[in-house]
Amino acid sequence: MGLGGVKGAVVDAGPLIHLTEIGCLLLLRIFDTLHIPHAVWSERVERDHLSEADVLELGNVERITLSRTDVARFIE
């Protein structure tokens, strides 16, 4: 789906904030898959800093949620 042939990227809040500020969120379509961690989704979308519809309009978003077990395993 990505327009630029870039396989994927994990995005933190920064690009979501600043690309939205300048009206260029759609630039994130260059990625085939845009992985958004749960914490970032929570911070930006669930707190109404960014429209869920705008993010999902990208068409390449995959929300990433890890279980407590996965997080504990990673920390170990």
Q: Are 63 and 36 in contact (CB under 8 A)?
A: yes
Q: Tell me what pLDDT residue 3 has.
A: 57
DSSP state of 46: I
Domain range summary for the chain, segments of one domain joined by +: 6-75
Q: Which residue has the tokens 């992985």?
A: 35
Pairing of strands 6-10, 61-64: unpaired
Q: Tell me what pLDDT residue 18 has.
A: 94
Q: How many residues does the chain have?
A: 76
Q: Tell me what pLDDT residue 2 has.
A: 53
- pLDDT tens, the chain, 76 aa long: 555 567 999 999 999 999 999 999 999 999 999 999 999 999 888 887 889 999 999 999 999 888 889 888 989 8
DSSP state of 33: E
Nearest CA to 31 among 53, 48, 15?
A: 15
What is the value of pTM for the model shown? 0.78
